[in-house]
Amino acid sequence: MDKTSKVPLYFQLMEELIKKIENQIYNEHEQLPSERELCTIYDLSRITVRQALQDLEREGYIYKLKGKGTFVAPKSYDQHLSTLYSFTDEMAKLGKTPSSKVLKFRIITVDERLAQKMEIEALEDVYEVVRLRYADDEPLMYETSYLPCKIFPNLTAEQMIEKPMYDIFQKDYQIGLTKATERFTATLIRDDEAVHLNVKAGQPAMLIKRFSYFNNQLIEYTSSIARGDKFAYTVELT
């Protein structure tokens, strides 16, 4: 640490720790020295160390476990938002093995509110499909999809288990996505989702609502809970 520099000390400490994480001197999920130890190692005040750790946590480099300490966070996935994408394809591109578990598959009748969202008639039937999405056996997203029955007649849970949803659309129904709208809000992981996602309830998550279209026909409405520690979304504005 250079105490005469105009580079704030907590920036210097952040840089030092990030280098150690990037050079894998500290590995994923490895515990970092405690606040107190970092004060001693780098001869810094508690307030400086705390600021650096807070900012590293915010930046997604580390995570804290209450009463246990500070650990190196896993790397997150950066999703660029411009063209249509699917979880399956994106994970495959990154060399990960995508898979899904179907937690629920049933037909329900939509109420007015959901019908309006889906641009269908109230009291129409839709499939409600809840899936857990994995990359290399790590659960990352908890998704609830609604698909109009009249667009996908005779759809079964077995099809959903066998192949990716968009493959079913394409191969079994000759329906491809032509556009989609996604709406992002920040939320907290609930108890019932935490169990499946293998994280603590109350952790941050991205709530993504996707409305997919085939020409001007809505074919899918999906609400996804994406783990906040694993996903970032980037967009370009012009």
Q: Which residues sit at the interface with a second copy, rule CB under 8 A?
A: 5-8, 11-12, 14-15, 18, 54, 58, 60, 76, 78, 81-85, 107-114, 123, 125, 178-188, 190, 202-207, 226, 228, 231-238
**Complex with a second copy: residue 136 or 204, whichever CB lies closer:** 204
Using CA atoms, how far apart are residues 63 and 21, in angstroms rounded to an integer?
13
Using CA atoms, how far apart are residues 118 and 114, in angstroms rounded to an integer?
6
What is the nearest approach in angstroms of a second copy to the Cβ of residue 214? 13
**Complex with a second copy: residue 142 or 152, whichever CB lies closer:** 142
Where is 99: in which H helix or E strand? strand 98-109
What is the nearest approach in angstroms of a second copy to the Cβ of residue 45? 16
Q: Which of 170, 171, 172, 201 is nearest to 188 (CA)?
A: 201
What is the nearest approach in angstroms of a second copy to the Cβ of residue 167? 18
Whole-Å CA distances, 85 to 36, 68, 179, 182, 222: 45, 38, 10, 11, 14
Using CA atoms, how far apart are residues 131 and 24, in angstroms rounded to an integer?
34
Q: Encoding tokens for residue 198?
A: 């293998």
**Complex with a second copy: residue 32 or 226, whichever CB lies closer:** 226
**Complex with a second copy: residue 28 or 162, whichever CB lies closer:** 28
Whole-Å CA distances, 49 to 14, 30, 40, 69, 98: 9, 18, 10, 14, 38
**Complex with a second copy: residue 99 or 182, whichever CB lies closer:** 182
What is the nearest approach in angstroms of a second copy to the Cβ of residue 182? 5
What is the nearest approach in angstroms of a second copy to the Cβ of residue 44? 15
> Contact 150/164 with Cβ under 8 angstroms?
no
What is the nearest approach in angstroms of a second copy to the Cβ of residue 64? 11
With H, G, I as helix, E, B as strand and everything else as coil, classify residue 46: helix
**Complex with a second copy: residue 97 or 108, whichever CB lies closer:** 108
Q: Which of 137, 118, 134, 136 is nearest to 126 (CA)?
A: 118
